[in-house]
């Protein structure tokens, strides 16, 4: 995957991936190490993407854990990546929860709070605005970035529709999907209705997934939309 399509990416320190035009690295320590080195070479910021301990299901199957287990699980996975970043003299840019854990945090404040407690102090978290992720981050004084998605659909209640197996996207649909989110802070839901995305004045990250069919095209198209939006708005 060419690094020049990305601004920030997750190191998969548990079983997952991440962020603003994102990629995936496997949990294998050697691949994590090599990926961090490549990010350094291409000046790509790196964030951690901790998920549930569900290797076979790639972190997309729900597992009930205690608050203490959720906090420890997050701290353990983030710490693994941070060890490689420290070795290369890089900073941990952000944390973005992965897969079903992300959805659990949106719906359950106690889950969101427990995961947030495992994030190093001062490191931003990427999440879905208007949910318990935002509330827990604010309550714990954790910097919050609102996420939008290039290759994920939304339900009528503005929640993400998570597919166990990613489906192909037409690139023009990707372009329309991302453009609408950025320009109007709204999105067409799966039932055809238009729902608002309460991103407020938060910094925004646009996430794409490397396991989506045609992921390079999705990332390139999303990048084009983001670059145009920033240029048009003097950013």
Residues 197-207, mean pLDDT to the nearest whole number: 94
pLDDT tens figures, 76-107: 999 989 999 999 999 999 999 998 999 999 99
Q: Where are the beta strands (DSSP E) in the chain?
A: 8-11, 45-48, 92-95, 125-127, 144-149, 153-154, 160-161, 186-188, 194-196, 204-207
- Between strands 125-127 and 144-149, the pairing is parallel
CB 11 within 8 A of CB 50: no
For the chain, give the mean pLDDT. 86
182 phi, psi to nearest 5 deg: -70, -45
The whole-angstrom separation of Cα 43 and Cα 183 is 28
The per-residue pLDDT for 209 is: 87
pTM given for the model: 0.87
What residues form DSSP beta bridges with 144? Answer: 125
Give the single-character DSSP code of 120: P
Give the single-character DSSP code of 189: -
What is the pLDDT confidence band of residue 165, given thresholds at 50, 70 and 90?
confident
pLDDT above 90: percentage of residues in the chain: 66
Which CATH number is associated with domain 3-230? 3.20.20.370
Report CA-CA distances (Å) from 5 to 2, 76, 213, 217, 230: 6, 29, 17, 10, 15
The whole-angstrom separation of Cα 92 and Cα 76 is 14
The per-residue pLDDT for 6 is: 55
């Amino acid at each position: 995957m060419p690094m020049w399509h990305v601004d920030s990416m997750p190191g998969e320190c548990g079983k997952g991936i991440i962020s603003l035009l994102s990629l995936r690295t496997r949990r294998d320590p050697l691949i994590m190490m090599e990926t961090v080195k490549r990010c350094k070479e291409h000046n790509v910021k790196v964030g951690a993407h901790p998920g549930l301990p569900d290797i076979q299901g790639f972190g997309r199957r729900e597992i009930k854990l205690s608050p203490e287990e959720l906090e420890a699980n997050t701290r353990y996975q983030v710490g693994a990546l941070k060890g490689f970043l420290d070795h290369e003299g890089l900073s941990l840019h952000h944390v973005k929860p992965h897969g079903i854990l992300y959805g659990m945090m949106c719906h359950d404040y106690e889950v969101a709070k427990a995961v947030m407690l495992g994030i190093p102090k001062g490191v931003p978290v990427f999440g879905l605005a208007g949910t318990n992720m935002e509330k827990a981050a604010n309550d714990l004084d954790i910097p919050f970035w609102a996420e939008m998605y290039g290759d994920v659909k939304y339900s009528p209640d503005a929640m993400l529709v998570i597919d166990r197996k990613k489906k192909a996207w037409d690139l023009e649909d990707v372009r329309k999907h991302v453009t609408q989110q950025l320009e109007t802070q709204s999105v067409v839901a799966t039932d055809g209705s238009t729902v608002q995305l309460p991103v407020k004045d938060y910094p925004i990250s646009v996430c794409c997934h490397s396991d989506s069919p045609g992921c390079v095209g999705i990332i390139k198209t999303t990048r084009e939309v983001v670059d145009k939006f920033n240029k048009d708005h003097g950013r």
